[in-house]
Amino acid sequence: MSEPLILQPTHAPDSCVIWLHGLGADRYDFLPVAEALQQVLPSTRFVLPQAPTQPVTVNGGFEMPSWYDILAMSPARAINREQLETSAQQVIALIEAARDSGINPKRIFLAGFSQGGAVVYHAAFMRWTGPLGGVLALSTYAPTFAEDISLDPEKQQLPVYCQHGSHDDVVLPSMGRTAYEWLKSRGCDPKWQAYPMAHEVLPQQIRDIGDWLLTQLSN
């Protein structure tokens, strides 16, 4: 894995957001977002990892930054599960690095847009075994949330903020809503918010994320 882009705060770091970009993007994609959020979160470090460049089947095998291969789009996403697991383990390593640097895991957040969000969901709920601050799931879905999986009490308490565009034709709102409903059915209390947008990020979203993070960090 390429070295992540790390945006250090102006104050001594007491919290961390690990933010995964989407398919075909790179670690600089959410740098302006991180810079904007640090205006209201001056003690929060942002870690922006880079997905490996590899072939993506649904894009004709063209190589691009991707957290995992997408083999088919319908009737449901068919993915390379091994590559997803590898990406999730990279996220776990970043959580451990933040923890080992002195940040309380309860103040470490995972955020992911689109394909990056799918990795974040898997890492947070299926692979990480300790506490976390919360999960930001942006315009994403959860390919590994299965019917036969239950969640322990610690996972049920994990704050989750789901944001999705009501006009998203890349990751349909119904896919994001399915993940949200799965979490609710397993004892979680996720927050759902829709925006009048496509597969993108709006300034109002960033303000809402800043407010949410401030609330979580003040608890």
Angstrom distance (rounded) from CA 76 to CA 97: 34
pLDDT at 73: 81
pLDDT at 1: 59
Tell me, yes or no, if 168 is annotated catalytic.
Answer: yes
* pLDDT tens-digit map of 83-97: 999 999 999 999 999
* pLDDT tens-digit map of 166-201: 999 999 999 999 999 999 999 999 999 999 999 999
pLDDT at 17: 98
pLDDT at 75: 63
* pLDDT tens-digit map of 33-83: 999 999 999 999 999 999 999 999 999 999 999 999 999 887 667 899 999
Residue in 14, 26, 43, 199 annotated catalytic:
199
Q: Is the pLDDT of residue 146 over 90?
A: no
Residue in 21, 87, 164, 168 annotated catalytic:
168
Per-residue tokens: 110: 């995972």
Q: Is the pLDDT of residue 117 over 70?
A: yes
Put residue 24 in one of left, alpha, beta given phi > 0 → left and psi -120 to 50 → alpha.
Answer: left
What values do phi and psi take at 129, rounded to 5?
-110, -5
- For tokens 């490996």, the residue is 52
Computed over every residue of the chain, the mean pLDDT equals 95
Structurally, at CATH architecture level, domain 5-52+83-218 sits in: 3-Layer(aba) Sandwich (3.40)
pLDDT at 77: 79
Q: Is the pLDDT of residue 206 over 80?
A: yes
Tell me, yes or no, if 199 is annotated catalytic.
Answer: yes
Q: Where exactly are the structural domains of the chain?
A: 5-52+83-218
Angstrom distance (rounded) from CA 193 to CA 88: 25
pLDDT at 203: 96
Residue in 114, 122, 139, 164 annotated catalytic:
114
pLDDT at 148: 85
pLDDT at 2: 80
Angstrom distance (rounded) from CA 166 to CA 172: 8
